[in-house]
């Protein structure tokens, strides 16, 4: 019964606002394809399967969309064999459509003149644009295939986290470009994927406007008084147990606007210099009074 109920909930979430999700997915693909053609192909930026397309286009004049399509199809087959049908499903549509969109948007290249823009600025704009596109794609639950599949395979068989697998997989492709574009190209490419990951994360989880404070202190009443009376914010108190000592303690939690973070932190230190506290970004706050 529990499994059936969970499946029902999962299916409900997946089918919720399906049309909007598909529109976001297609919009994300268009944005990523445009950023590739306008910026990355023109400035020889390498990352993922599209980076292999950039290198082969530079060396032999091969259409990068063909390279991306062939590479994505090979990785899809590998994914089906090594990861199974379920993990491959969400990559199929993106793997097919992304190279198609790269081809369809290639017409825009002659109409975009970037001669008056500094290379670092153009690359930054391209990375930010791509980050927006990838964020929209990932938010819908799809991927563009390519090295997203490779990273999952590396993670599974080499017992790495996805983050380390990304560094390993994309890192090898980027480092291989040193023989084509030199070390300057490698640096620009690493800068690009950093900006892309930063922007895509912001699109997926949003920009934090609040901070969550978790505090354990011997001066509980004073800290609660500060939050409730001086900052006028509600608080929640948990009973917690030390994992090593087994000691029972109480933890105060309070959500504050980011602009009040520094002031609150300094006041807590003044109230109790030995207080243990953790501050995290709170990307979404809902419910409660």
- Per-residue pLDDT at 247: 83
pLDDT, position 158 = 83
CB 146 within 8 A of CB 49: yes
pLDDT value for 41? 93
pLDDT score of 181? 94
Residue 241's pLDDT is what?
85
Whole-number pLDDT of residue 13: 59
Q: If residue 67 lies in a helix (H) or strand (E), which one and from where to where?
A: helix 64-82
pTM assigned to the model: 0.76
pLDDT of residue 280: 84
Q: How far apart are CA 170 and CA 193, in angstroms?
A: 9
For residue 1, what pLDDT is reported?
Answer: 45
**Calpha distance 257→188 (Å, rounded):** 36
Nearest to 142 by CA among 134, 151, 150: 134
Q: What are phi and psi of 113, to 5 degrees?
A: -105, 115
Q: What is the DSSP letter of 228?
A: I
**Taking the mean position of all CA atoms in its chain, how far away is CA 70?**
25
Residue 135 contacts residue 28 (beta carbons within 8 Å):
yes
Q: What is the spatial distance between Cα 275 and Cα 268, in angstroms, rounded to a whole number?
A: 8
pLDDT of residue 148: 78
Residues of the chain with pLDDT under 50: 1-2
Looking at residue 46, what DSSP letter applies? -
């Amino acid at each position: 019964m529990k499994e059936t109920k969970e499946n029902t909930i999962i299916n409900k979430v997946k089918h919720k606002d399906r049309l909007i999700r598909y529109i976001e997915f297609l919009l994300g693909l268009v944005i990523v394809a445009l950023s590739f053609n306008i910026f990355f192909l023109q400035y020889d930026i390498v990352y993922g399967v599209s980076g292999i397309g950039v290198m082969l286009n530079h060396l032999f004049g091969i259409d990068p969309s063909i390279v991306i399509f062939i590479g994505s199809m090979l990785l899809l087959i590998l994914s089906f064999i090594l990861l199974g049908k379920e993990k491959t499903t969400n990559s199929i549509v993106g793997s097919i459509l992304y190279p198609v969109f790269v081809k369809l948007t290639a017409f825009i290249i002659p109409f975009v003149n970037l001669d008056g823009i500094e290379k670092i600025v153009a690359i930054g704009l391209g990375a930010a644009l791509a980050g927006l596109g990838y964020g929209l794609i990932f938010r819908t639950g799809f991927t563009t295939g390519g090295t997203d599949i490779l990273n999952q395979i590396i993670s599974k068989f080499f017992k790495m986290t996805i983050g380390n697998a990304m560094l390993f997989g994309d890192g090898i492709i980027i480092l291989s470009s040193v023989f084509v574009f030199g070390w300057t190209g490698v640096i620009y490419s690493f800068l690009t994927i950093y900006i892309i990951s930063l922007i895509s994360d912001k699109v997926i989880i949003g920009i934090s406007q609040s901070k969550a404070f978790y505090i354990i202190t011997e001066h509980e009443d004073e800290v609660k008084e500060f939050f409730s009376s001086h900052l006028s914010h509600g608080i929640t108190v948990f009973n917690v147990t030390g994992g090593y000592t087994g000691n029972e303690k109480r933890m105060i939690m309070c959500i504050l606007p980011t602009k009040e973070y520094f002031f609150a932190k300094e006041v807590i230190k003044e109230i109790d210099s030995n207080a243990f506290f953790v501050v995290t970004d709170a990307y979404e706050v809902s419910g409660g009074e």
